[in-house]
Every structure is written in C-alpha cells, then in structure tokens.
Amino acid sequence: MQRIGLGFDSHRFAPGRALVLGGVRIAGEQGLAGHSDGDAVLHALTDAILGALAAGDIGEHFPDTDPRWAGADSRVFLAEAIRLARERTMRVVNCDVTVVTERPRLSPHKDAMAARIAELLAVPAKCVSIKAKTAEQMGAIGRGEGLAVLAAVLLTDAA
Ligand code: MG
C-alpha cells in the first residue's frame, strides 16, 4: 500500500530568534516565532506524514499549550511521526518541500537541508526535494512578515 500526505505551515519572523529550517541553523537571519524552535519545514513534513497516516495533526500530538514543547527541537516532532509510520509498518519513499519566502535566499542552504531531512527520514538525499519560491512581494509573506512551507510525502509498506 502507498499513502500520500500533504503538510502546510507558516510562521512569522520574530526578533531575537535563531532561524532553523529543515533542521539546519541559518546564521545571520531573523528567526521564526513559535512555541518550539519554529522550524516550519519540519512542521510541514511532520504534518504530511501524519496526514498520510490519517493520524491527526501536529497540534494534536504536540499542543503549543504544553510546556514540554517550549523551545523544542522540531526534529522530535518529525521523529514521532516517523515512529507512528513504523508502528504501522510504513516508511517514507520521498518528500517534496516548497518554502515560500522573500528571504533568506535558500539556494546556499538547500543541500544541507536536504541532507539533514534525508537523515531524519532515513531516505537517500536524492529522495528529498527542497524548492524555494518568493511570493512576488504580494501579501504578508511578500512583505517579509513570515514564511510558509508546503510538503508532500509518499509512504509505502516497509519491506
Ligand atoms: Mg509550525
């Protein structure tokens, strides 16, 4: 059996926070507001896996009212989604991530992000796609108030 999942997340930029995207810290850029480390890429991926499993959403598994997740490393959330997939004897085949933001330019960071995500998902790096788009200066994202991420994943029966 194969199952597809779609995830979305958006966060505002916030002063005094480190920018972490796809598990990679990007120096010299404004970070993202959030109860956890604000890693919208890992949040969207987590939701995509949960979606493929029809297992609810990240907010149900990790409520932002729970002090345990204050400042949490978002890799914890993704690891839990992967654990749930394994529990159902499923594994990730590939993922495709689109980050919509005016800044930073992601091209210098895409390889590191893909490598980190591949490691977390236990897939080859060639099975992780990271794409970056701007919002063409339209709307809140276009004004640089925050960023948004879309993620799709395919799960299959673990061999
Ligand atoms: Mg989030």
Distance from residue 157's CA to the centre of ligand 1 (Å) = 28
The answer to whether 50 and 61 have CB atoms below 8 angstroms apart is yes
Distance from residue 51's CA to the centre of ligand 1 (Å) = 15
Distance from residue 125's CA to the centre of ligand 1 (Å) = 24
Distance from residue 34's CA to the centre of ligand 1 (Å) = 7
Distance from residue 9's CA to the centre of ligand 1 (Å) = 5
Per residue in 31-61, pLDDT (tens digit) is 999 999 999 999 999 999 999 999 999 999 9
Can you read off the two tokens belonging to residue 94? 């590939």
- Percent of the chain whose predicted confidence (pLDDT) is above 70: 99
| Residue-averaged pLDDT of the chain | 96
Q: Does residue 123 have a pLDDT over 80?
A: yes
Domains in the chain with CATH codes:
2-157 (3.30.1330.50)
Strand ordering across the sheet containing 2-21: 24-32, 2-21, 146-157, 90-100, 128-133
- Percent of the chain whose predicted confidence (pLDDT) is above 90: 92
Q: Tell me the torsion sign for CA atoms 116, 122, 123, 124.
A: positive
Give Cα separations from 80 to 26, 60, 148 (angstroms).
24, 12, 22
Per residue in 91-112, pLDDT (tens digit) is 999 999 999 999 999 999 999 9
